[in-house]
Amino acid sequence: MTPRLVVVGAVNVDLVVQTDRLPGPGETVVGPGVERHGGGKGANAAVAAARAGAEVRYCGAVGADDTGDGALAELRAEGIEVTDVAVLEGAATGVALIVVDGGGENQIAVGAGANAAVDPAAVRAAVARSAGWAGCVLVSTEIPPGAVAAAVETAAAHGLACVLNPAPVTAGLVDLLRLGPVVTPNRSELRDLYALVEQGAAGSVAEMAAAVAARTGAPVVVTLGGDGVLVVDPERGAAPLPAPPADVRDTTGAGDTFNGVLAAGLAAGASVSEAVARGVVAASLSVGTVGARAGMPRAAAIDEATGQGTTARR
């Protein structure tokens, strides 16, 4: 049975400049050219999930402009349903400005545009409408806090698995943790979440993740870049999963790839550990190509690299 997934988040267009090194404060660096790619953490994760074999419905917003038209066309070309993406007059489609250095590290500045106007009522309706269809809801936080809350709360109300990617961390997230989403922060986001939960000095990654997991009652999956991930379960404790070796050209979108493949696995009925393993492999495969979506692998490539069956199994 094909996994089915609702993704709620931002839709951007990425403008990428490759340079020898990242600029410092007040500094200009020059690269040979500029590339345009589809972007937005939510939209990227939706593409990753679709390539991993999931049917995906997307909920978000773009501007009524050529950029928005192009962004939606790219999602449709991946087989993603975009009926629940609002097209807003008077708003620009979101844009991310990305600089990538020779080692694949990046700096990113985002102009939210239409993403800042995603309507919580529309999100609530979209998730509720998919309750009998989807196996998981994936939410990222580049949209208004009310829209994030609408997605997580509606998923919980309908008994749907939920993955919450807290990028960025906002104060309102602490109230959503009690609803039990699988939370997927990176190191810096984990520190910010821990500060909201404990309001104390940061500890080790495992200690901070355990504090967040105690609040959610669900696994916390900390993404650690080239070091893989740390899964902290409130009952089973901490389990590291290293990343396989990778030829790194661009890390932009690696976390989004991980989240999309993780959510697709959960939607297929896989355990958290199985879904995490596939997500780590997919993220490692994704960094060999410039552009957030360019290197996102298909299900067959993930299967070959993991030695597992397809995410479509139940």
Among 73, 60, 68, 52, which Cα is nearest to 10's?
60
Which residue matches tokens 């999100």?
Answer: 123
DSSP state of 236: T
3-state secondary structure of 206: helix
Q: Which residue type is seen at 189?
A: E
Residue of 14, 192, 233, 256 marked active site:
256
CA distances from 62 to 65, 107, 131, 137, 248 (A): 8, 23, 24, 20, 31
Task: Give dist(CA 20, CA 252) in Å, integer.
Answer: 16
- Alpha carbon distance 68, 250 (integer Å): 24
The whole-angstrom separation of Cα 10 and Cα 32 is: 29
Whether 250 is a known active-site residue: answer no
Q: Phi-psi region for residue 228, left (φ > 0), alpha (ψ -120 to 50) or beta?
A: left
Active-site positions read 256
